[in-house]
């Protein structure tokens, strides 16, 4: 934890490793510090995985529609 006072060094580690830096206190994990780009990439991957899992669940539970039928129905409904 005392190394957190040296923010320049923490930033350098995050940037160079392109990975999070794990901070411990008395040998136990306490914090994770990461570059904002790493954080945003990680969150994007989590969001994408969540959407994929939701789609798989919809398919497995028969909550899907045929794409051509859906487009035809929309065109009919909106006069296209």
The mean pLDDT of 42-46, rounded to a whole number, is: 97
Q: How confident is the model at residue 1 (pLDDT cuts 50, 70, 90)?
A: low
40 and 13 share a domain?
Answer: no
User: What pLDDT is recorded for position 4?
Assistant: 76
40 and 75 share a domain?
Answer: yes
Contact 23, 1 (CB under 8 A): yes
41 and 29 share a domain?
Answer: no
Q: What are phi and psi of 64, to 5 degrees?
A: -125, 165
- Domain span at residue 16 reads 1-34
Whether this model's pTM surpasses 0.75? no
């Amino acid at each position: 934890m005392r190394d957190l006072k040296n923010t320049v060094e923490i930033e350098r580690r995050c940037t160079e490793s392109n990975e999070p830096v794990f901070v411990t206190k008395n040998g136990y994990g306490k914090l994770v510090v990461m570059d904002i780009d790493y954080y945003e990439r990680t969150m994007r991957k989590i969001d994408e995985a969540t959407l994929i899992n939701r789609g798989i669940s919809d398919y497995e539970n028969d909550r899907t529609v045929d794409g051509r039928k859906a487009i035809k129905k929309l065109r009919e409904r909106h006069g296209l």
